[in-house]
Copies of this chain bind each other. A is one copy, B any other.
Amino acid sequence: MAAFGVLAVVLSVYCVCFLVEGTYMVYNTSGGVVPEKINVHLVPHTHDDVGWLKTVDQYYVGSNNSIQVACVQNVLDSLIPALLADKNRKFIYVEQAFFQRWWRQQSDGMKETVKVLVSSGQLEFINGGMCMHDEAATHYIDMIDQTTLGHWYIKRDFNVTPRIGWQIDPFGHSAVQAYLLGAEVGFDALYFARIDYQDRAKRCAEKNLEVIWQGSKSRGSSSQIFTGAFYAGNYEPPTGFYYEVNDDSPIVQDDIELFDYNVQERVDAFVAAAYFQANVTRSNHIMWTMGTDFKYQYAHTWFRNMDKLIHYVNQDGRVNTFYSTPSIYTDVKHALNESWPLKSDDFFPYADRVNAYWTGYFTSRPTSKGYIRVLSGYYLAARQLEFLLGRIKSGLTTDSLADALAIAQHHDAATGTEKQHVADDYAKRLSIGYEESKDVVAASLGCLTQSPLSSECKSPVTNFNQCPLLNISYCPATEVDLSVGKKLVILVYNPLGWKRTSVVRIPVINENLSVSDSTGKLILSQLLPIVNASVSTRKFYVSAYTGESPSSAPKYWLAFTAVVPPLGFSTYVISSGQSSATTELIPNTVDTGSIEVGSGNLKLIYSGKNGKLMKYRNSRNSVNVSLEQSYTYYVGSTDELQASGAYVFRPNGTHTIQFEEKIPLTVYRGTLYDEVHQTFSSWVYQTTRVYKEKEHTEIEFTVGPIPIDDGNGKEIVTQLKTMIGNNKTFYTDSNGRDFLERIRDYRADWDLQVDQPIAGNYYPINLGIYIKDKNTEMSVLVDRSVGGSSIIDGEIEIMLHRRLLHDDGRGVDEALNETVCALDTCMGLTVQGKYYLRFDPLGEGSKWRRSFGQEIYSPFLLAFSEQDDKWTNFPTPTFSAMDPSYSLPDNVAVITLQELQDGAVLLRLAHLYEVGEDNDLSSLATVELNRFFQNRKINKIKEMSLSANQERAEMERKRLPWKVEGSNTEPLSDLRGGPIDHVKLVVELAPMEVRTFILDFNSDIVPYNMR
């Protein structure tokens, strides 16, 4: 055909237009690696966002195409015949949320066909979670859960395990992704596109795009994974090689009888693009990602052109090309037996160009992020209770919440970078999931409290209500008039593996209430007024969320201290009568001196003059620091080239604007805790709680609606200023797990060009942030994903809310201007949340960060039951799933306890400490499963990969070993708990280790009281 090419050039005006009877062409696509040439691995793929501009279902069925022409159903429908047409063709599919929608619509015949394609390797599942989760605004438990769910589907339907991590779109990459969701799920490699443009430039220049990434200091070489960043910063083909049905790339026109024959031109362009990429890539293998968002809607158009490229490029011979997959590419790279550079820490923050730091999305849509985190914790507890109840085959399960949470981890969901209607869709799914799961929870609690113990529990006597809007003081179950002789039973469930003591607060309408524990003993309680700010928030948002106007507001919060066994519950009874301890009110008219708050070890000292926080003092450990706390905002840039928006944080200059200097202050003192109420402005309200028995302070903020009548979008931060000399250094967690050191205006991998001294120093926070100097640590823990930093020494700041009026040009094409409508009014979104602050002597902070972090993630689950005055007690008023004498060690958490569809039980245990993090707790921990599971006998136990789709031993056997440049050829031994003893059933956990087990219980034994 080369001769034809020449001919075509000669006949540039007049093509050869004689009629020919037949020109059926068979393309040779059978090539493989040619060692001495540049090998271009063509990897056909589609990147299907599990919601972004359209909802996941709209993307699947292809509706709402006026927003975006995208239909995943078409991708998969058209893919199968395209693969069948040529056995050399290959395709990878990623997002199981879509694949499962498609799969269950298929006929048995089609399913068999697809199974053959999968087993032959033509169709390969990679990454394999329900979605391609975000890596900044996600919690590691959610990441594991959504990956496990997707991997489980793949295992169930195809009996295969994905080999490759494929995080091509997320906006920066986390250490947890590399080692937990990479190495620990058995992936042989991890690929992605988005790393900082400065970093990428340097890696291109030095051929360091492909590295060995070690995500965890603690986990040693076992946490290493071969990692490739794409040279162009995207996951698309080289320019001119797009073949979607509606693309306008030059297709390969190889019919000599038609005009515009262009084979030589396309071959030349191919070779040039290959040379270009080879110049920045180590070895003679390069990967072309042949696809992008929602491509292959008519797969044939891609394969037809790629067939031709393979045929003519190989005929040309300058480079070699063939259909490939990331697995094949990885195997070939591995077979080269080379050593690769080592990469530590992570790939945050991400800027795709100058002034474009994608650090806004760490906080975008804070209420969505809050809802996800609340339900993440709820889901963990609900699965425990589902397990304790026994999974009811025909009834309700937590599955829809699993599905909703999985989808919500998508990198345009948890991130807040989706269109508003899509955000609404995620919320709807979560709400549906919650509704279904709360019935599981209620049924389980009903059964667990029920007698007789031995019979099956089908319809529990007690109907437990729950209050998802308790945070805005809305709880119909507790807002009952107890003065007429009724009793309110509160069941407090503790999902943690430790006994736990915390204050519980519920809204009530009566004044004179007493609280008694499950033995009938009266316990201390405290009554606080529900302030006007809460009442108006309650009225508006209850209407917005439920569609109903709540009846008149409750007047008080009733608080008491609950003490609950591990994986168990205690019950408390509220009744009318004896007055609760009242709360002393300090009026807000103090204007001199200082005000000390806190009746335990911890004291906060406020200025009586301006109402501002001045000092934090812990009498137990002699921490005594001066402390300022403020709310400030950045004005979002409206720069045409780069505005601040859903993705990008770009403050308009570095000056922050202060609120009013004098802050009204009201203090409520009580027996259990003191509360400080501060109105920073008409749209920033804060309640600070100091618990008598705790040594941290809880700060509840209510921010919004952010005013925009000045035409400025605003990004609200809270700042905590101390004298701690942290020398530019601060620490943020990776997805709620390892803490990484951050240094202001510095990157370990390249000489940072600082253009954005604020946005460029923001990092994602899921658990907390801390700074330290030689004496003191200041830690802040958060209740959801946020962005934060330490912009000046001694300071920590957390971005709490964002309202912006411009789109930032990354495709969502909407300004991040969230509004809520109710009661015939629409207003900007108000966010209410909490953060927690504590100071510790140097080296002592991690205990609180880890233990209390678990409490934040897994708060008490409250359930309510109204009883008449004759009611005395449940048959089982307190409960623990564990041996009463047992508790998990302080450094271990149960992060999954779940009965699977086949009745087997999935258990994940996580060591909470890093190597060297704590003098006591960074040590090998042990868990005694026989005592952990009271009354159940473990029949069989298998240790699994993190996503539980293969046995751990098999995973380790199969996983490719890689060599790191400059290190010994032998991988470092990793710190790991020993193999489980199948008799003693003791599990060891090394620092930061997560171990995953599938358990079979002996079904002869009736476990617990409801089976």
Contact = CB atoms under 8 A, between A and B. Distances in A.
Interface stretch (A254-262, A506-514, A908-916, A951-959): A254-262
A55 to B, nearest CB: 7
B251 A300 contact: no
A298 B62 CA distance: 13
Contacts of A13: 428
Nearest to A60: B258
A71 B251 CA distance: 11
B259 A425 contact: yes
22 contacts: A15-B432, A17-B400, A17-B403, A17-B429, A57-B258, A58-B259, A58-B260, A61-B260, A62-B301, A63-B250, A63-B260, A65-B246, A69-B245, A71-B301, A74-B300, A74-B301, A77-B300, A78-B78, A78-B298, A101-B255, A245-B246, A259-B428
A605 B432 CA distance: 94
A253 B60 CA distance: 10
A75 to B, nearest CB: 11
A610 B31 CA distance: 82
Interface in A21-59: 21-25, 55, 57-58
B245 A104 contact: no
A435 interface: yes
Contacts of A63: 250-251, 253, 260
Interface in A494-513: none
Interface string A87-125: 000000000000001001111100000000000000000
Contacts of A399: 18-19
A996 interface: no
A871 interface: no
A63 B255 CA distance: 13
A19 B400 contact: yes
Nearest to A26: B107
A248 interface: yes
A66 to B, nearest CB: 4
A247 interface: yes
Nearest to A402: B19
B432 A14 contact: yes
Nearest to A431: B14
A403 B18 CA distance: 10
A78 B432 CA distance: 39
Given A17-B403, A65-B248, 9 more contacts: A17-B400, A25-B105, A60-B258, A61-B255, A66-B248, A101-B255, A104-B257, A245-B298, A297-B298
A21 B78 contact: no
Contacts of A403: 17, 19
A105 B245 CA distance: 19
A317 interface: no
Contacts of A108: 24
Contacts of A431: 14
A389 B954 CA distance: 80
A547 to B, nearest CB: 9
| 6 A-B pairs with least C-beta separation | A66-B248, A298-B298, A65-B248, A57-B258, A69-B246, A57-B259
A240 interface: no
A972 interface: no
A143 B81 CA distance: 40
A20 interface: yes
Contact of A428 (B14, B25, B55): B14
A105 B62 CA distance: 32
A74 B105 contact: no
A397 B619 CA distance: 107
A654 interface: no
Nearest to A301: B74
A297 B245 contact: yes
Given A245-B297, A253-B63, A300-B78, A22 B104 contact: yes
Contacts of A315: none
Given A69-B246, A245-B245, A435 B300 contact: no
A64 interface: yes
Given A23-B104, A101-B258, A260-B61, A245 B300 contact: no
Nearest to A425: B259
Interface in A827-878: none
B106 A24 contact: yes
A1008 to B, nearest CB: 26
Contacts of A69: 245-246, 248
Contacts of A55: 259
A238 B599 CA distance: 75
Contacts of A101: 255, 258
Nearest to A20: B104
Contacts of A17: 400, 403, 429, 432
B435 A64 contact: no
A527 B196 CA distance: 82
Interface in A411-458: 425, 428-429, 431-432, 435
Q: Which of A23, A105, A298 has the most CB of B within 10 A?
A: A298
Contact of A248 (B64, B105, B245, B429): B64
A65 B250 CA distance: 8
A246 B67 CA distance: 11
Contacts of A435: 14
Nearest to A403: B19
Contacts of A253: 57, 61, 63
A23 B259 contact: no
A898 to B, nearest CB: 16
A24 B107 contact: yes
Contacts of A248: 64-66, 69
A919 to B, nearest CB: 48
Contacts of A400: 17-19
A62 B251 contact: yes
Nearest to A103: B22
Nearest to A70: B246
Given A246-B65, A435-B14, A104 B428 contact: no
Contact of A61 (B14, B65, B258, B300): B258
Nearest to A246: B69
A1004 B344 CA distance: 92
A57 B23 CA distance: 16
Nearest to A66: B248
A74 B298 contact: yes
Interface in A1-25: 13-15, 17-25
A260 B61 CA distance: 10
B23 A251 contact: no
A298 B425 CA distance: 29
Nearest to A297: B245
A949 B335 CA distance: 65
